[in-house]
Amino acid sequence: MTRKLFALPALLLALVASLTILTNPATATADDDVNVYTTPGYHTVNGREWHTTCAKYDARITRCRAEIKSEGKWVFNNLTYLATDHANWYGNNLAKSGFFTSDRRQWVTSCNDSWTGANACRSFIFAGDKWVFNNIVYFTPGTAQLPPSTFDQDSGVLTVNGKITNPPESLNRGNSSGLDYTNENTKKVIRHVWANYPQIKTMYGWRRDVTPDHPAGRAVDVMIPNWRTDSGILLGWEIALYYKAHASDFGIDYIIWDQRIWSVSRNSEGWRPMGDRGSHTSNHLDHVHINTYDS
């Protein structure tokens, strides 16, 4: 969606914001003038069927969820937070311009731009390879002193008060994934590997897992090319031994490689053998697992 379909007067927005949950008509009503983002119920607008529900987001803010029917199913379209005093948002990222990360996803918010008009912000989520509109936040006129901004969905460039900001550069390269969602200690390791070991083409960071470290963002798997060869094994040991020697510099907790584990807490025992876990990946024969302390 590239533009706002409708604009409500500020007074009407404020009145709608004072409502809690409104009833939803059982049948859609054809009304091309209705604001489907803020009017609860079923609607037919521009030949499309919409369903909107509104409820309290917290004690001061009302949020409406709009869905649109696609191929017989209701599909999420966007969220609209109705007009309220800007102070009620307490610096929330949805209410100020800038890039941020939430729930392991990259977001950007643009306020008072040509799309939202004054007294509003809109936010996008980076999904796949593009920015997707997610929500708009309205403020009671006169309560938000926000600099004007613009956001280009195609380039991902945000301009706030004339200053251009590019989206944060991703740590992921090639087939790597989850590196942007690791903690700061792990990111230090990742950046150092990219800068000093050109043989490495793939690393994996955050992921859902049965063990706690990857989901917590504390671990990175450095995938070793040609790991079955002598050169691959030597490269793995070069990396493992380097980060062992510099564990305090990177906040490293433990390292696993070649079915052996070393940890800070049991440093005097050196590299301890590990039992067979059933596969070359589980036995850490094809990657060096580097685990860090929380930042």
Give the span between the Cα atoms of 181 and 100, in whole angstroms: 12
Give the span between the Cα atoms of 131 and 45, in whole angstroms: 25
- Selected residue with higher pLDDT from 27 and 129: 129
Give the span between the Cα atoms of 222 and 242, in whole angstroms: 13
Do residues 24 and 16 make contact, with C-beta atoms less than 8 angstroms apart? no
Give the span between the Cα atoms of 63 and 85, in whole angstroms: 14
- Is residue 108 classed as helix, strand or coil in its secondary structure? strand
Do residues 108 and 99 make contact, with C-beta atoms less than 8 angstroms apart? yes
Give the span between the Cα atoms of 11 and 222, in whole angstroms: 57
CA distances from 294 to 18, 124, 151, 252 (A): 43, 29, 34, 9
pLDDT for position 263? 97
Radius of gyration of the chain, Cα coordinates, nearest whole angstrom: 25
Judge whether residue 95 has pLDDT over 80: yes
Do residues 181 and 205 make contact, with C-beta atoms less than 8 angstroms apart? yes
pLDDT tens for each residue of 21-60: 333 333 445 566 789 999 999 999 989 999 999 999 999 9
pLDDT for position 77? 94
Q: Where are the domains of the chain?
A: 10-165, 179-292
Number of H helices, E strands in the chain: 4, 18
H helices of 134-281, where? Answer: 184-196, 230-245, 247-250
Q: Which residues contact 250 (CB under 8 A, 6 or more apart)?
A: 185, 188, 189, 192, 243, 290, 292
Can you read off the two tokens belonging to residue 173? 């390269």
Residue-wise DSSP of 240-274: HHHHHHTHHHHTEEEEEETTEEEEGGGGGG-SEE-
pLDDT tens for each residue of 142-177: 898 899 999 999 888 999 999 998 888 889 999 999
- Selected residue with higher pLDDT from 161 and 102: 161
Look up the pTM and report it: 0.60
